[in-house]
Amino acid sequence: MQNPVAKQRLIELDVSQPLWDRYFWVAPLVLVGTREPDGGHDVAPKHMAMPMGWQNYFGFVCTPSHHTYSNIKRDAVFTVTYPRPDQLVLTSLAASPRCGEDRKPALSVLPVFPAEKVDGVLVEGGYMHLECELDRIIDGFGVNSLIVGRVVAARVAEDAERIDEIEDQALVHNAPLLAYLHPGRFATIDQSLSFPFPAGMKK
Ligand SMILES: Cc1cc2nc3c(=O)[nH]c(=O)nc-3n(C[C@H](O)[C@H](O)[C@H](O)COP(=O)(O)O)c2cc1C
């Protein structure tokens, strides 16, 4: 029998150009919070963002031209909120362009509350909140940098916490997740299945 995968035609892509808009890939979408130089706060969406390994480090891709980058370089702290699907529009608005006095007026519609261990804010209604101290910034991935923090405080919403009494499938159904499908699409995940790990697999 012929392998159906062998039949597909592969298109050679030009690796001198960015590849990441040429196909869809699945990413999370988080809101990174920082303190602005005037004492106000900044919140910006990031999809190139995830835990850095099995210990409590969290990293995301940023660029030195963003306030998020300069705020973290100065204060050495940041926060992370995982928004829920019903917060999609507010999440997107946090990427609105700045106007007079370099302010992001759209942030006024984003309800926030103070972080406890670091100087910053978290976004109300998100299902997972992290407070991070800067571990390191690695510059030089083209125009981008990797910002990595050590998590010093974390809080999960009651309906999103994994506990023995609630099946994982029901948990995801009742507290759906927001996925960003780069480029420019999103999905609400409220259905999930157990991953078919091979027998005897070790982490
Ligand atoms: C859905 C979405 C995902 C984004 N992901 C990233 C990202 O992973 N890294 C990044 O540097 N900027 C990302 N951005 C762009 C920044 O959030 C945006 O430029 C923001 O206004 C920067 O704000 P700041 O100057 O206050 O840091 C994303 C924007 C959107 C709408």
- Cβ-in-10-Å burial (0-12, 13-18, 19+) of 31 comes to buried
The conformation of residue 92, written as its DSSP 8-state character, comes to H
Residue 149, in any domain of the structure: yes
pLDDT digits (tens, 9 = 90+) for 130-153: 999 999 999 999 999 999 999 999
Least Cα distance to 155 among 135, 137, 179, 130 occurs for 130
Mean pLDDT of the chain: 95
pLDDT tier for residue 154 given thresholds of 50, 70 and 90: very high
63 lines ligand 1 (CB under 6 A): yes
CB atoms closer than 10 angstroms to residue 200: 5
Say which residue the tokens 């940041």 belong to.
78
| Cβ pair 115, 26 in contact under 8 A | no
Least Cα distance to 160 among 92, 51, 60, 85 occurs for 85
66 lines ligand 1 (CB under 6 A): yes
Residue 22: pLDDT above 90? yes
Q: What is the pLDDT of residue 105?
A: 85
* CATH of residue 47: 2.30.110.10
Structural domain harbouring 175? 23-189
pLDDT digits (tens, 9 = 90+) for 88-97: 999 999 999 9
Q: Average pLDDT, stretch 63-80?
A: 98
**List of residues 6+ apart from 148 with CB closer than 8 A:** 52, 57, 58, 59, 134, 135, 136, 137, 138
pTM, two decimals, is 0.95
Residue 40: pLDDT above 90? yes
Residue 104, in any domain of the structure: yes
Residue 18, in any domain of the structure: no
pLDDT tier for residue 3 given thresholds of 50, 70 and 90: low
Residue 30, in any domain of the structure: yes
**Total structural domains in the chain?**
1
Residue 191 CA, ligand 1 centroid: distance in Å: 28
Residue 12, in any domain of the structure: no
Residue 203, in any domain of the structure: no
Residue 55, in any domain of the structure: yes
Q: What is the pLDDT of residue 136?
A: 98
35 lines ligand 1 (CB under 6 A): no
Distances (CA, A) of 85 to 28, 29, 93, 107, 127: 11, 10, 14, 18, 10
Residue 30 CA, ligand 1 centroid: distance in Å: 10
Residue 123: pLDDT above 80? yes
Residue 65, in any domain of the structure: yes
Phi-psi region of 170 (alpha: psi -120 to 50; beta: other; left: phi over 0): alpha
Residue 1: pLDDT above 90? no
Atom of ligand 1 nearest to the CA of 61: 9
